[in-house]
Every structure is written in C-alpha cells, then in structure tokens.
Amino acid sequence: MASDAPRTSVPSANGRSAGASLAAPRAAAASGAGPVAASSAGPVGDGPDPIAGARVFVSWSGGKDAYLALQRAVRRGAEPAALVCMLHEGGHVSRGHGLPLALLQEQAAALGVPLVTRATTWEEYEATFVSLLHELCAQGVQAGVFGDIDLQAHRDWVENVCELCGLGSHLPLWQEPRRRLVDEFLAGGRATIVAVDSSRLGAEFLGLELDDGVIARLEAAGADACGEEGEYHTMVTDAPLFARAVALAWDGVDERDGHHVLRFATTPTPASPAESL
C-alpha cells in the first residue's frame, strides 16, 4: 500500500435497471406523517411490523452495516426518505469513516435516495444531529434506521435523540450473530476496507474487498467479523439496492485519529445548501 500510483476497486456491472430496487417499496409505502413505534429491532410475533409503510431516514456511514440496515428496512416495507450523514467540520469528508462527500453522493445516486448532510465538530455533534432530526420530522419523516448491532450505549443514544424529536427508531441488525450478518451482506454486496484502527490492525488490510478469506484474516488478527468495535470500516461499492456500481480509487495511505485510512483520489466537494436541506 506504499505506492503512490492510484489504485482502484471497480465493481462489475450488476445488470440491474436504474431505480428498480427501491421503486416498489416506495410505491407501496404509506405517506402519512406521524411517529411510528418507538423502537424495534425486527418484526415481532404476528402483529403488524412497525416499520412497514413508514417514511424513514437512514443513519448513513457508507459502510456495510448501514447498507444492510437499509436493505432490511426496505424489504420490511419502509420508505427511505433520506440518507443522513454527519461530516467533518470542513464539510469534505464523513465524520465516521472519513469518506469523501463525492463518494457518498455517488452512493446516494446509485440508491436513488437523497443524501442529507451536516458539518459539525464532535463537541456539537449531538446538538447538530438533533436539529437535523427536527427538520426531517417536520417534513414527514417518521423514524430512523440505524446499523448498530449490539453496543448498548449506541442504542441508548439513538433511541434518546429520536424520542426527543418525536421519531421512532429501528435497529434491524440488533443482536444478530456477526458472521450471519457478514454472510448476508456478502451474498449480494461488495465493500472495500477504507479504514482500520491502527492499534488493532495493520495497514495491509486497507483496500481489500471483503470476502470470506478477508473476514477469516480479520478474525485471525483478533477483529470482530463485523468490526462492531471499530476495528475496521468499509465503503459499499455495489449491492442489490444499487442501480449501478460505484468505483473507488485511492493513491496512498494516511494516518488520522489513530487509524490507517485510504487517501482517496477524489477532489474535495463541500456540501451545498441543497444537499444539506
């Protein structure tokens, strides 16, 4: 990974027609405003699914867990109204995974779901997020979808901020076996490792596309299969809900906040007012 020559990960074409994946759930979803069930992980018993027909935002990192949460929500009948991503205060890269805004925009275009961003500091993160949720609620969004798996502190936080704004919260991956989730994603999705915790993993994992062999290597190195404790982060480049694949290019490795991260070969694109609602 030391070479300065640009490297690319270009997924193969998937043959899907643009917009085909999300069109049916959107058409079937109810459009009435109002909060839905306060919190849910998945369908419960034989009763109505609280997420079916709900207009939702998805907490979007660009990674596999956020995507899988979206996919499960859509298959349960949710209508995705927005991908919500918090940016570094400079407005060029995402707070969590350090993905350039341009790549997040390409993912959103491939999904056919609007990307909504806010630039913020860690100190102002919660206040900025809550302000954005109030705006979404006023526009008829009823609930949020999150890709958390089993970190209780994260669940408590998302439930609290959603409740504060009159929104339901849904965690479709909650407490599922990690390897089962990875296998479900890999059954139709493709993702590249874009960042690793430098105290847990080496930079040699950067740029690798997830597959069974890479997951085995990650686990052998002591990482969780899903990277739920932040050992590694991914960017989804293709998946069943994508109308087209997203190409990923990088030209080196950087060190940032205790992580080895890919240096992406993209031009910084600050968020515009339109993208930020």
10 Å CB burial of residue 24 (0-12, 13-18, 19+) is exposed
DSSP state of 28: H
| Mean pLDDT calculated for residue range 47-71 | 93
Measured in degrees and rounded to the nearest 5, phi and psi for residue 69 equal -60, -45
Percent of the chain residues past pLDDT 90, beyond the cut: 72
SS3 37: coil
Token pair in block for residue 164: 């504060």
Taking a C-beta distance cutoff of 8 angstroms, is the pair 119, 91 a contact? yes
pLDDT at 143 over 80: yes
Q: What is the mean pLDDT of residues 13-24?
A: 37
Mean pLDDT value of segment 169-188: 97
Q: Are strands 7-9 and 39-40 parallel, antiparallel or unpaired?
A: unpaired
User: Does 122 or 269 have the greater pLDDT score?
Assistant: 122
Contact residues for 31 (Cβ-Cβ < 8 A; gap 6+): 55, 79, 140
In CATH terms, the superfamily for domain 7-12+51-264 is HUPs (3.40.50.620)
| 15-29, 95-109, 233-247, range with greatest mean pLDDT | 233-247
- Mean pLDDT (whole number) for 174-184: 96
Phi/psi at 219 (nearest 5 deg)?
A: -65, -40
Q: How far apart are CA 84 and CA 46, in angstroms?
A: 31
Residue 8 has pLDDT above 60, yes or no: no
Q: How confident is the model at residue 50 (pLDDT cuts 50, 70, 90)?
A: confident
Query: Hunting for tokens 């970190």 — which residue is that?
Result: 151
**Residue 257 pLDDT:** 86
